[in-house]
Amino acid sequence: MGETPAQGRVRLPGGTFMMGSDQPTFPQDGEGPAVQTTVQPFWIDVYAVTNDRFAAFVEATGYVTDAERIGSAFVFYAHLAGGEAGAVVPGLPWWRDVPGASWRAPEGPGSDLKDRGDHPVVQVSWNDAQAFARWVGGRLPTEAEWEYAARGGLDGARFPWGDDLTPGGEHMMNVWQGEFPARDLAEDGYSGVAPVGSFPANGFGLYEVCGNVWEWCEDRFDARLDVDLGPQERTQKGGSFLCHASYCDRYRPAARSHASAETATQHAGFRVAYNT
């Protein structure tokens, strides 16, 4: 175990809440219907795991991430560094599969982590997140635990702070403003990943549970679907800085997405849960 618990974690009492939504934007995601769900008490990180924390893990263990092993990872086309274009992802033309992209070089060769120690680590797969969580004596949260934590005690609200996207005109999370994918106006202050703690905490004291980066959960994605996508497809929650209402209304606690267990992208990270 590489860390000791205390600062940066909160203990949640658990309880029963309505998980999912009766008004899902994407019914095929299995977001609805809302289901009464009970979770037991658990601890969870206040922030997504940062580059500094992940670097300490790698230094201590020599861990090699999936992206480093495979030799490439996915980068948003407008953020490419070093002139490395990469292959266009079929059906998702704003993504490039970039050789050399990894957690150390999130935008591909020519990028680095300078002045980004407090940013969420990205370009980490579900497998990588599991390895880090075990190192700190924790685990990935279940989807139910994650959603309970993200709601911050506001059962049934659209967002962790209520039902308005920008209450009183205030941006509460890091998502896309403008025309996707051509132009991000960055009205929330960021075009790309923001440092942890950049936006207000929810009612449980957790930061950036929606927007900024998707977060891996323990569960297989098909757990709430009538299909079997196989054991490799794992659930992601919370949305990211690339989410926009025009195509991705998934920056909500109820929403869900997925990727294979070895997939690494520029907009996905994780936070760790711990048993009481």
For all residues of the chain together, what is the average pLDDT?
94
pLDDT digits (tens, 9 = 90+) for 36-77: 999 999 999 999 999 999 999 999 999 999 999 999 999 999
CA 156/CA 232 separation, integer angstroms: 30
The answer to whether the CB of 219 falls within 8 A of the CB of 234 is yes
pTM greater than the 0.85 cutoff: yes
The confidence score (pLDDT) of residue 246 equals: 87
Look at residue 179 and tell me if it is in a domain: yes
Residue 157, amino acid: A
Look at residue 1 and tell me if it is in a domain: no
Supply the CATH number for residue 158's domain. 3.90.1580.10
If one counts the domains in the chain, the total is 1
The confidence score (pLDDT) of residue 84 equals: 61
Residue 98, amino acid: V
Look at residue 82 and tell me if it is in a domain: yes
Q: Is the pLDDT of residue 1 over 80?
A: no
Look at residue 2 and tell me if it is in a domain: no
Look at residue 174 and tell me if it is in a domain: yes
Mean pLDDT of 225-253: 92
CA 194/CA 182 separation, integer angstroms: 20
Look at residue 4 and tell me if it is in a domain: no
The answer to whether the CB of 66 falls within 8 A of the CB of 127 is yes
CA 42/CA 65 separation, integer angstroms: 27
Look at residue 3 and tell me if it is in a domain: no
The answer to whether the CB of 198 falls within 8 A of the CB of 174 is yes
In this structure, what are the phi and psi dihedrals at residue 51, rounded to the nearest 5 degrees? -60, -40
pLDDT digits (tens, 9 = 90+) for 77-114: 999 997 667 899 999 999 999 999 999 999 999 999 99
Per the structure, the complete domain to which residue 217 belongs is given by 9-275
The answer to whether the CB of 49 falls within 8 A of the CB of 269 is yes
Look at residue 93 and tell me if it is in a domain: yes
